[in-house]
Structure 1
Amino acid sequence: MKDHFKIGTIIKTRGLKGELQMFVDFEHLQDVNFTAVFFDLGGKLVPYFVESVKYQKNTAWLYLEDVDTIEKASKLVKKDVYLSNKLKPKKKKDEFTLKDLKGFIAIDENEGELGEILEIQELPHQYIATVHYKNCEVLFPLNETIIKGIDLNNGEVYVDLPEGLLDIYLG
């Protein structure tokens, strides 16, 4: 799944001809031109060709090839929907935000490589990154104090975690 990015989740079916309602959680999806989507079915990504898609705020209405009955469509409800990374719009450097660090490798000045940033939560006054380090889920804030550098080409973020933070999780 690392070659794909999530664009949304199927919420429900509509009508009897297989139309699917998708909650879109990828900004500007309407600007991406795609002919196929991938569904996570049992841990494998299965491709479906798109016949049509209509957008309405953060919702998309999908018709997929060979999904032409409510029975076929019902099997896709509550499934995550992905596109190939080749279709992911390239961001200009000035459009980069802290949320874009998801998937980057966090490297601490003292501890070395912490692992891939698996999730970024947006809280009222800060962003929190999640990594798995030494079999523990570790959370740390993303801010000017902690981030020492970002390597966009290699997908790395250099951090200086507060002293004792890792001990809280590992101790």
Structure 2
Amino acid sequence: MNVEDCFYLGYITKTKGLKGEIQVYFDFNQYDELDLDAIFVEINGKLVPYFVSSCKLHPNKTGYFFLEDTDTIEKAEKLLKKKVYLPNSKMPEREDDEFYYTDLKGFIAIDSKAGELGEIMEVLEYPQQFIAVVSYKFREVMFPLNEDTIDSIDEEEGVLTVTLPEGLIDIYTSEK
């Protein structure tokens, strides 16, 4: 299994108890809709399958897992800070009208004052907000994606129109 054939779920944050239980933090929003009978853990650039003996999901984007063959704290500690994936075939089906900020990757961002900023290279998810990353005038520029900044989204044309806070672009483009 390759990373390209999978989608990112989150990462292993800590162990719990002495019997190999691990906590997974989910970066994936619909984690409670997933079939979690097996997960893939990225170890040394390769995806290693682990069968899930049991898991308890919590509303704070975490879950506690017992994995087969991981029955001691020593085995579980080797998995700390590792990324967790599932095969693309286990991705929940989306409704036709569902649109997420992460879908904006690849869109062209246009600011109402500065004009075209460039293609959105990445959409980062932080606990409080989403951040778009564009390359503008050979500099990486980051700006928030929210109701206050987004003017319109043209899905057919792949264009995001924004009004960024005064001076935000200057922070990135001014010479230091």
TM-score norm. by structure 1 comes to: 0.70
* Contact map agreement 1:129 1:141 (CA 8 A) in 2: yes
Structure 2: give runs of 5+ residues left out of the alignment.
none
Aligned equivalents of 2:91, 2:30: Cα separation in 1:
10
Q: Which amino acid aligns with 1:149?
A: D
Pair 1:80-2:80 in alignment? no
Equivalence for 2:121:
116
Q: Which amino acid aligns with 1:129?
A: A
Equivalence for 1:128:
131
Equivalence for 1:26:
28
SS at match of 1:77: coil
Q: Which amino acid aligns with 2:44?
A: G
**Deviations 1:32-54 (Å, cap 9, x if unpaired)?**
11322122223333222222212
SS at match of 1:117: strand
* Contact map agreement 1:119 1:131 (CA 8 A) in 2: no
Aligned equivalents of 1:90, 1:83: Cα separation in 2:
14
Q: 1:77 to 1:21 in 2, by over 3 A?
A: same
Pair 1:139-2:142 in alignment? yes
Q: 1:62: how far off?
A: 0.8
Q: 1:108: how far off?
A: 4.8
* Contact map agreement 1:5 1:85 (CA 8 A) in 2: yes
Question: Over aligned residue pairs, what C-alpha RMSD do you find?
Answer: 3.4
Q: 1:113: how far off?
A: 6.2
Equivalences, count: 162
Equivalence for 1:15:
17
Equivalence for 1:66:
69
Q: 1:72 to 1:95 in 2, by over 3 A?
A: same
Equivalence for 2:59:
57
Structure 1: give runs of 5+ residues left out of the alignment.
none
* Contact map agreement 1:53 1:62 (CA 8 A) in 2: yes
Aligned equivalents of 1:137, 1:117: Cα separation in 2:
11
TM-score norm. by structure 2 comes to: 0.68
* Contact map agreement 2:123 2:131 (CA 8 A) in 1: no
Aligned equivalents of 1:106, 1:57: Cα separation in 2:
32
SS at match of 2:89: helix
Equivalence for 2:107:
106
Equivalence for 2:92:
89
Deviates more, 1:61-70 or 1:109-118: 109-118
SS at match of 2:18: coil
Q: 1:10 to 1:35 in 2, by over 3 A?
A: same
Q: Which amino acid aligns with 1:42?
A: N
Q: 1:73 to 1:112 in 2, by over 3 A?
A: same
* Contact map agreement 1:52 1:63 (CA 8 A) in 2: yes
Aligned equivalents of 2:121, 2:86: Cα separation in 1:
21
